[in-house]
């Protein structure tokens, strides 16, 4: 029985899903937003410390701050937000409404769907040596929350890609010492970054892998790390205060890979769609990195246009008489009232 039918349910709370949630609220749709992770923001959690320059009208901003701003905006019209739930199955009923089932067995009912799953659910790749830890290591990281927490620390970074190199260079002036290890002879990063890295004070262990983590029995803190040469097996032990592992991400794309829905895909991954946000199935729209159409831009800025289009399509699908486009902010009654309230609050503060 459909106990709680939503107008639109957005799967994925990255930039595309967040802006879709805002815009569907603006279009007076009863909205639900579901994400598999415990917090909203999507892929931006990979680069919370990076300064983002290319979002229109927003001054250079750290990833973490942009997540907050996008999330605040997404909650403007109080959508229902469901976190820690991975949608695994979508089925369409005889009455044309959809049922979404999650990995934990929850069911969610909706008239229309916006798929905004980006590159899927990202899980950081872990070291084999992590499997031997008896308790979670409190000083082992797979993303870098803040640079300052590594101030005056001895930091070991494992990884030879652009992010690992960037982290090493960012930490060099802050940490007591930075060591970088990677399996290849040379890092697979931009030539200029590698050049700058090699002329910096970062100690580099090419062709090495972390083979053991020695932890304090009581605290679980990693104190020493064994690095082994991938060809000669020569081992080196270094003392550390923190270890950062940047080996990329495993992508869980099971929803689309295993779904019975005949959604047309491109390169076995992306949803074949249109610039208006349509997929190959009516009632299911898409926005953000997951949709592919000629001219698609895989950037945060591209997510916003996708979201507006997907929401407008969902609106017209659920209410065929609805206007094709939503009202701009200045003509939107609820936003007018919110603006009025905000300016009254400001006046009160100034008095």
Ligand X SMILES: Cc1cc2nc3c(=O)[nH]c(=O)nc-3n(C[C@H](O)[C@H](O)[C@H](O)COP(=O)(O)OP(=O)(O)OC[C@H]3O[C@@H](n4cnc5c(N)ncnc54)[C@H](O)[C@@H]3O)c2cc1C
Residues belonging to the binding site for FAD are 35, 43, 47, 87, 122, 289, 330
Q: How far is the CB of 127 from ligand X (least distance, A)?
A: 20
User: 32 forms bridges with which residues in the sheet?
Assistant: 9, 80
Distance CA 239, CA 249 (A): 26
Of 137, 227, 242, 303, the one binding ligand X (CB under 6 A) is: 303
Residues 155 and 181: beta-carbon distance below 8 Å: no
List the binding residues.
35, 43, 47, 87, 122, 289, 330
Does the protein bind ligand X through residue 277 (CB under 6 A)? Answer: no
Number of residues binding to ligand X, judged by CB under 6 A: 35
Residue of 66, 67, 116, 284 interacting with ligand X (CB under 6 A): 116
Give the nearest distance from C-beta 60 to ligand X in angstroms: 10
Near ligand X by CB under 6 A: residue from 7, 35, 166, 177: 35
Does position 350 interact with ligand X (CB under 6 A)? The reply is: no
| Residues in contact with ligand X, shown as a per-residue x/- string from 320 to 339 under the rule CB under 6 A | --------------------
List the interface residues with ligand X, window 79-98 (CB under 6 A): 86-87
User: Which residue, 52 or 133, has its beta carbon nearer to ligand X?
Assistant: 52
Three-class SS of the chain: CCCCEEEEEEECCCHHHHHHHHHHHHCCCCEEEECCCCCCCHHHHHHCCCEECCCCCCCCEEHHHHHHHHHHHHCCCCCEEECCCCEEEEEECCCCCEEEEECCCCEEEEEEEEECCCCCEEEECCCHHHHHCCCCCCCEECCCCCCHHHCCCEEEEECCCHHHHHHHHHHCCCCCEEEEEECCCCCCCCHHHHHHHHCCCCEEEECEEEEEEEECCCCCCEEEEEEEECCCCCEEEEECCEEEECCCEEEECHHHHHCCCCCCEECCCEEECCCCCECCCCCEEECHHHEECCCCCCCHHHHHHHHHHHHHHHHHHHCCCCCCCCCCHHHCHHHHHHHHHHHHHHHHHHC
- Rule CB under 6 A: say whether 25 interacts with ligand X: no
234 and 206 Cβ atoms separated by less than 8 Å: no
Applying CB under 6 A, the span of 15-23, 209-217, 225-233, 319-327 interacting with ligand X comes to 15-23
Q: Of the candidates 8, 9, 15, 246, which one interacts with ligand X according to CB under 6 A?
A: 15
Work out whether 8 is an interface residue with ligand X (CB under 6 A): no
Q: How far is the CB of 66 from ligand X (least distance, A)?
A: 9
Which backbone phi and psi does 139 adopt, to 5 degrees? -115, 25
Query: Minimum distance between the CB of residue 212 and ligand X, rounded to whole angstroms?
Result: 29
Out of 6, 7, 8, 14, which residue is the one contacting ligand X (CB under 6 A)?
Answer: 14
CB of residue 120 vs ligand X: minimum separation in angstroms?
A: 5
**Candidate ranges 12-20, 65-73, 130-138, 266-274; the one touching ligand X (CB under 6 A):** 12-20
Q: Out of 25, 79, 120, 283, which residue is the one contacting ligand X (CB under 6 A)?
A: 120
Q: Taking CB under 6 A as the rule, does residue 65 contact ligand X?
A: no
Comparing C-alpha atoms, which of 178, 186, 176, 236 is closest to residue 209? 236
Tell me how far, at minimum, the Cβ of 58 lies from ligand X, in Å: 10
Shortest Cβ distance from residue 191 to ligand X (Å)?
A: 18
Binding site for ligand X (CB under 6 A): 11-17, 34-37, 42-44, 46-47, 52, 54, 86-87, 116-121, 255, 288-290, 298-301, 303
């Amino acid at each position: 029985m459909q106990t709680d039918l939503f107008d639109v349910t957005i799967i994925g709370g990255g930039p595309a899903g967040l802006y879709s949630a805002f815009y569907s609220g603006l279009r007076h749709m009863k909205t639900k937003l579901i994400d598999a992770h415990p917090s909203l923001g999507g892929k931006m959690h990979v680069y919370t410390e990076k300064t983002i320059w290319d979002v229109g009208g927003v001054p250079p901003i750290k990833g973490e701050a942009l997540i907050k701003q996008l999330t605040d905006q997404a909650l403007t019209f109080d959508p229902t937000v469901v976190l820690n739930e991975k949608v695994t199955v979508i089925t369409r009923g005889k009455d044309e409404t959809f049922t979404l089932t999650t990995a934990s067995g929850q069911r969610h009912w909706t008239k229309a769907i916006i798929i905004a799953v980006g590159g899927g659910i990202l899980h950081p790749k872990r070291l084999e040596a992590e499997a031997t830890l008896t308790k979670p290591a409190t000083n082992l990281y797979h993303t870098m929350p803040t640079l300052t927490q590594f101030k005056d620390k001895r930091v070991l970074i494992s990884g030879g890609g652009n992010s690992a190199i960037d982290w090493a260079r960012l930490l060099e002036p802050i940490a007591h010492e930075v060591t970088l290890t990677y399996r290849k002879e040379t890092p697979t990063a931009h030539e200029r970054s590698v050049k700058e890295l090699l002329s910096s004070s970062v100690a580099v262990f090419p062709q090495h892998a972390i083979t053991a983590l020695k932890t304090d029995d009581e605290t679980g803190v990693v104190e020493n790390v064994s690095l082994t040469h991938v060809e000669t097996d020569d081992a080196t032990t270094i003392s550390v205060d923190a270890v950062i592992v940047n080996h990329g991400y495993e992508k869980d794309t099971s929803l689309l890979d295993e779904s019975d829905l005949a959604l047309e895909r491109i390169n076995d991954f992306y949803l074949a769609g249109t610039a208006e946000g349509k997929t190959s199935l009516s009632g299911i729209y898409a926005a953000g990195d997951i949709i592919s159409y000629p001219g698609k831009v895989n950037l945060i800025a591209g997510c916003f246009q996708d979201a507006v289009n997907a929401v407008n399509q969902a609106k017209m699908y659920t209410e065929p008489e609805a206007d094709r486009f939503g009202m701009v902010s200045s003509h939107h009654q609820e936003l007018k009232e919110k603006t009025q309230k905000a300016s009254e609050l400001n006046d009160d503060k100034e008095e």
